[in-house]
Structures are given as C-alpha cells and as structure tokens.
A and B are shown apart, each in its own frame.
Chain A
C-alpha cells in the first residue's frame, strides 16, 4: 500500500544538481533510511518531503495527496533536526505542545497529549524544565516527542543522532525504533552511518551524487550490493585488482594467484581487467573456508573487540587483503610477518567491472566514501 511516493524528483540549486531521478514508494508504517556520504542529496530529498525545498521537477504524494508544492506549515509531516532545534524560550512541555497550540487545540487537551508524550520518551515529570537544562540525548527525545505531537502522517529524521556520544547514540537508536513500531508511523531517516541505517530500517536507500544507487532491505544491500559504490560504502570491503583468466567459468587472477568466482564474469572478456570484491568476514584463516586460496604475509593485526581484523600483503606491488575473525580468547592471532594461507568460497567474491576511463575517478569516490567510515 503506497503511502509516501516520490516520483522523478529532481532538485537543482543555482549551478548544481542536488538530486535527480529520485523514485521511491514507501508503505504505511515502513521505516526507510537514506544512506550516503555528505553532499549526496539525502538531506535535500528529506527537506523536499518536509516542504523546505521545492523540487525542480517531479512529484511527492502522501497518502495519495499531491503535496509537491504545498508550504511546509500545511503538510502534516513531523521533522526532527540534527541540532534538535528546540525553542530555547519555551519549557519542554511548551515545546512539545507547540504544534497543537498553533492548531488552536484546547489547553487541557494539549496538556494531556504532552503528558502522554513525555511518558513515551521517558521524561515524565520534566515538562517544566528548559532545553538548556537537559542533556543532548534528552533534548533530542524532546524534539522527537515534539515532532510526534501533531500526529504526523510521516516522520522525518535528519541525522538525529550525529551530535550525540556513541553510547547514547545506540540507546536512543533503539528507542526511536521501538517508538516508531509502537505508533506504526511511516518514517524516513537520513544518516551517513551505515550501521545506523542497517540496524534500524525496513529498507535502505543508498545515495551518491544525487542519485539512488540501490534500494533494498538491509541484508540485501549488504550481501548483494548492486554497484561498486554500495559495496564499498556499506560495510568494509576488500577491492582487489584482478585480470580475467576465463570469463565463462569465472576464473580470475589476483596478485598472481588464481581464484574462482561464483558466477561467470559478464563484465569483460578473457584477459580484461576487473575488480573482485570480498567481505572481510567471508574469508577464513587456514584452508577450511572454501575452495579459493590465497597466500600472503601478515602485515598488521588489529583488535576490534568482538572481532580481530588481520591484514595480509598478497604481493610486492602492495595489494592487501583484510579478513575478520571472531575474537576467540583461546586462539592466538597470527603474528606479524608470518606467511599464512586464507580461504573463501567462490560465492564470497563479487566481480565488478573496471572500465578504464572512469576507473580512477571511481576509485577516488570510493576512497572518499571509505574515509567517511
């Protein structure tokens, strides 16, 4: 059941195209994230749904009604800002009740609704405080309650957690999701944090340079990235330069060692250049991980808590490969400069085309995206 629909949405600013060809249909109660690096157009799209920006072309419908050019104060959409944007001159209760007040609701009705919302965000009894008396996390909860007070058709969150500490961020993330489920409200969540997007959403829209790269469930996005950009932006990824040995059987050579990919290489002929992508967690130390084998020397071992990431040097030319293993206190991680063999199944490999002209450019974009992670 289509509830929020964006069709062919395009936004141009003076001399740049911020968003183009944006199509999305979200169901009622769905939680959709826009994920991408800064400047990819995700916030601009959100602001068009809220009405702060008007699309240059295309249309936006909420529950079947075209709201494309409707001013923001006449859309029924709730927005939570990155910087909270609480009104400093009002108490928490007045902030939450503001939307009802400007709608001319009776005083006691507002009071009751504010009380409910304060309980919902676990700030019951603190309605008389001022924003500056609250912590950042508390302020953002108030902002959420304020956006929900008007019973919006759609809830929009613009990087709501990025100004908060890591611990609070995770706690609040869960709280947002549980409140959203409780109310069954259609939600669009903008973030550049892939972990946030993957853990919260029903569906993720990955964006880059104003375009949609992929729309899909978190697991699909992670496991079956449609483009090289998605593959590299979502999660950590080994990108290895490869030469196609036999396209029909999926045999390629990486750093002088031959491996087999799960499917035939359809992006090039024998002898052409390609890129092989492998997730670090798809590779195992030793020979139990699958039929593909690669050998190299250990360059670095970093301890990341529940996992240990090992980096191997595969070749003198500097080709490296990272792999993740679960942290097992009974096992010693490999020591640096020892030679090891790693293994992985053909299905763990993804072959991406490497057209020569744009390759360098694309690699820069990927590097930039990776730097963000």
Chain B
C-alpha cells in the first residue's frame, strides 16, 4: 500500500468523525434556509412601516380584537386540555388495569381523528347539530361546546398515546395495589398517585394541544367562531398591510415556546409527542 492511499484513507475517516461530510452541510444549509427565510420575510414585512418601524406591533397590541382572539383561543385550549385529560387519563388507566381486551377498540377510536380530516369532522358536527333534537348550533354557547368537543377529539391520538406510554413506564397495577392496600379510594388513587407520575407526558400533551388549538382555523371558521385567534388573523391578513406579519410572528413564537417547553420536559425521557398534523 502506498503512502498516498494510506493518507487518503486516513483523511476520509477523519472527515467522517470531525466536521461532517460536504453533502451533509449542503443539505443542512438548504433546510436551514427554507426554515429561516420565511421568518425573515415576515419580520422584514412587519417592520416596513416608516418612520415608526414598530407601528404594526403597536397597532396589534392596541387592538382589543387581538387580545380577544388570543384570549378566546387560549381559553378554548385550556378547556380542551382539561376535558381531554379528564376523559383520557381514566380511560387509559382503566383499559390498562381492568379491560385490556378492549385496548384495540379504544386505540382504534383514538386514532380515528387521523383518518377524519378536521374539515370533515366540522362538516358532520355543524349538520347534525343544526337539526334534530339537540340544536347546539343554534346558540353561541352550543357552538362553543361543539368547538371544544371537536378539539378534544382531535387531541385524542397524541393524548392517549402520551398517557398510555406514561402508564406503561410506571407499572400501574403495582402502584394501584400499593395504594389500595393503604386504603385509598379510586379518586384518590388517580389524583394522588397516577396523575403526579404522568406529569411529564401530560404536560407535553397539554402544551401541544394548546399550541394547536390556538392556531386552529378550519373548525373555528366552520363553526363561525370569528373571535378565535386564527379566523381573526385570517381576516386581518385580508384587510391590513403590516399587522398580519406582526401577528404571524407572534403566533410562530407561541408555537416555538410550546415546543421548547415540550423538549425541555422531555429531557431524558423517550416520550415524544410533537406531531399533530397539518392544517
């Protein structure tokens, strides 16, 4: 073997370990550009106002509709999280502990929202509840109920999986038996034993749900919830020049915040509930 080939081989190996292959850098930089350019675009647009470059932001923060939209969607998100947890945690717990035979059924149902696009779900909801005995669609409260109900259903796929993996990790049966042997009731077992042990996966699911509900447009729009954040932004996008850019950037920041929190919570654990699908 000649020295030239030898050094070449050594060089190749060093490259692999140290700085990375050239193609990897090309791909990575392309990806980073795709990611960053639109953000720069929005930001550049949001400060185009002259002479006061922060005018758009000032206007947004002076606009009650912005806070009303954010507040409404945040509240809807909170309600969704609470109801989803109240339904999913006992169900997943019960499936694991008492009726494991029904696990495939429950899993199938929780995955149905993957198959039924939001627009289809909203379509069915608005039609069935505008006629017949339960006319939720005829009152504002009814429509709000439908909105949160639909969001709760949409949160099932990742909420159930998060809770179920969490339960798998803590050996529910033993914990329950231990609690029962100390004379605790079901409610106490859930609130004192199971919930605290699931905290990480529950919080991750909750932040994801919040992020999604705040940005959700389709269902809110079908159910005429025009105060909600996304419909407000959509309308703003058609009527105003610079404010929509500012609000988009804020919305992006909120998504980023939620993901950072999830990543922070998920340190060390292998639970990953990050994807809820596109809108």
Contact = CB atoms under 8 A, between A and B. Distances in A.
Given a CB threshold of 8 Å, the question of whether A touches B is answered with yes
A70 B13 contact: no
A68 B9 CA distance: 11
B275 interface: no
Grouping DSSP codes into helix (H, G, I), strand (E, B) and loop, the A interface class, with mixed when no group exceeds half, is: loop
A66 interface: yes
B1 interface: yes
Contacts of B10: 54, 69
Most buried by B among A54, A68, A69, A70: A69
A71 interface: yes
Interface residues of B, number: 6
A291 B213 CA distance: 89
Nearest to B6: A69
A67 interface: yes
Interface in A28-77: 54, 66-71
B239 interface: no
A67 B6 CA distance: 10
Nearest to A51: B9
A333 B98 CA distance: 55
Grouping DSSP codes into helix (H, G, I), strand (E, B) and loop, the B interface class, with mixed when no group exceeds half, is: helix
A67 B5 CA distance: 11
Nearest to A72: B9
A54 B1 contact: no
Interface string A333-370: 00000000000000000000000000000000000000
B13 A69 contact: no
B1 A66 contact: yes
A66 B5 CA distance: 13
A69 B10 CA distance: 8
A67 B9 CA distance: 12
Contacts of A67: 1
Contacts of B6: 68-69
A70 B1 CA distance: 7
Interface string A224-241: 000000000000000000
A354 B122 CA distance: 84
B13 A54 contact: yes
Contacts of B13: 54
9 contacts: A54-B9, A54-B10, A66-B1, A68-B6, A69-B1, A69-B6, A69-B9, A70-B1, A71-B9
Nearest 7 pairs between A and B by C-beta?
A69-B6, A69-B9, A69-B1, A70-B1, A71-B9, A66-B1, A54-B10
Interface of A: 54, 66-71
Given A54-B13, A71-B9, 7 more contacts: A54-B10, A66-B1, A68-B1, A68-B6, A69-B1, A69-B9, A70-B9
Interface of B: 1, 5-6, 9-10, 13
